Structure 1
Amino acid sequence: MAAVTNAEAYDRGFACLTSHAVGPLLAPACEIRAGRLLDVGCGTGVVTAAALALGAEVTAVDTDPAMLALTARRHPYATIRQATLPELPFEDERFDAVAGNFVINHVPDTARTLQELRRVLRPGGSLALTWWKADEMTATDVIAEAIAAAGVPYDPPPRPFSACDTPPRFAALLEEARFRDVTIDTLRWRHRVDLAAWWTDVVQAGGRRFGFIAGQPPEVAERVKAHYLRLAAPYAEDGLPVCAHLARATR
């Protein structure tokens, strides 16, 4: 059996979680009938797939080569480029729409990233970005709670985006970047998933937040998993609660 790559585990886990936001995320592009769409932070191509199905000419960028390889294999009609925000290798006004599904919360410089996204949008082009709502539980928070319950030392990575993750603060940043028609909505859904499979996929996917679990001694990882299964059990039937924000704006 072939080894499971981080990208494949991410695709089964996080990509399925974030796919719930794809329809609302692409709504602005549909409204303006965008021909050229940039999927920024494309991951394993969930947004790319949906945009191609809508007839868009899709360019997908990500910083992770494994993610890009998987997306390129699945979507040969998309243009795949490696790039790391806040810099993009495209000329000014290249795209009709930019969509970023849970990527803005990972960039090191939010304000500069928004300026760069505006630069590659044509006048009248649409921007749509999602990020997790900070003060409500999401599907991964139960894993963080399990780490704490297991008494495992844990120093989560810094989150520069926390300084601008509320709707008023993010709207102000968009306006400072000279976007107009700014709106921010809240999305809520339930992530119905096999709880044991969700644990496996999140841990195997790695990443800055939970990748360290796989490197723990087996007895420590199992202790964290036992706490996770206990804490997640109340959500087995209805699904893990998820809450996110969706910002839309026009160039």
Structure 2
Amino acid sequence: MSAWSGVAEAYRVSFGTLCAGPVDRLLADALDGPLLDVGCGTGGLAASAASAGHPVVAVDADPDMTVVAAASLPGRVVGAALPRLPFPDDAFATTTANFVVNHVPDPRAAVAELARVTRRGGRVAMTSWTSAPAAWAGLVGDAFASAGAVAPPAQRLAPELDFERSPEGLAGLAAGAGLQPLTVTELRWTWEVPAADLWAGVTGGVAGPGRTFLAQSREVQEAATAAFHADRPADRAPLRLAAVAAYVLAEG
């Protein structure tokens, strides 16, 4: 079962808006022609690409995510997971993978598959979280610490499968898959999110913070929730949190 199973709506209102930060850049770097969005989540990038005139196919491993994405992309959402995509070689002018490579069990095999389905001269555009501490994680971590929450064992890749969480590390995966990196950089933006929506992602079980929250007793969950909201009333303006990601645009 995917770590994202059953959390599509919680993701959409919370971390989905964070992950939308690089979408404009990815689409600006896309070539004309068919576009494949791998790890489409709830479908925001794919829907924007379709609105811009691209013939789009979107893929996600989680059935709940594909249901939400299909609402805005009927007939063009496929359930599949890296490193095995149900498409022929050289099928797409552009393949996007927005915060996907950092979640798969074999990043090198995943990027090789992105390269396989992208035509010669086409583009692969990828983002990944870096090793820099995330601003939102400090807020959530403070609430967990105040409540005495104990994190479950971390889910880490074996050293031989992992990669450096940086633009250079992501570019190394691209080069190893036979792609030619064109742009290797960091993207920075400000994530504006209501505190209630951020916490909804945590309580809804999204990714690592969500797994930590769900692993606690009800008493600890309630204490963490109270600690997070103590200084953040619902009517306060949205949080403005700095975000940074590795970005690589590569040519097939």
When the two structures are superposed, what TM-score results if normalisation uses the length of structure 1?
A: 0.87
Give the 5 Å matches for 1:71-82.
Answer: 71-76=69-74, 79-82=76-79
Looking at structure 2, the residues matched to 87 and 144 of structure 1 have their Cα atoms a distance apart, in angstroms, of 35
> How far off is 1:131 after superposition?
1.3
Structure-2 residue corresponding to 1:48: 46
| Letter in structure 2 aligned against 1:7 | A
Which of 57, 62, 65 lines up with 2:63 in the alignment? 65
Residue identity opposite 2:224 in structure 1? V
Letter in 2 for 1:54: A
Q: Are the counterparts in 2 of residues 8 and 205 from structure 1 also a CA contact under 8 Å?
A: no
Alpha-carbon separation, structure 1, partners of 2:204 and 2:56: 29
Gaps of 5+ in 2: 1-5
Counterparts of residues 208-247 of structure 1 (less than 5 Å):
208-214=208-214, 216-229=216-229, 239-247=240-248
Q: Which amino acid aligns with 1:217?
A: S
Paired AA for residue 19 in structure 1 = A
Identical-residue share of aligned pairs (%) = 36
State the SS of the aligned residue for 1:202: helix
More moved, 204-213 vs 165-174: 204-213
CA contact (8 A) 1:142 1:232 kept: no
Deviation string 1:65-113 (CA, Å, 9 cap, x unpaired) is 011011112222x511111111111111111100111111101111111
What does residue range 91-170 of structure 1 map to in structure 2 within 5 Å? 91-160=88-157, 163-170=163-170
Greater percentage in helix: 1
TM-score of the aligned structures, taking structure 2 as reference length: 0.86
The alpha-carbon deviation at position 124 of structure 1 amounts to 0.6
SS state of the match for residue 126, structure 1?
strand
Contact 1:190 1:238 in 2 (8 A): no
- Paired with 1:145 and 1:133, the residues of 2 have a C-alpha distance of 21
8 Å contact from structure 2 (residues 170, 246) kept in 1: no
**What is the distance in 1 between the residues matched to 2:230 and 2:190?**
18
More displaced, 179-188 or 14-23?
179-188
Aligned CA RMSD, in angstroms, stands at 2.4
Quote the residue 1:248 is aligned against: 249
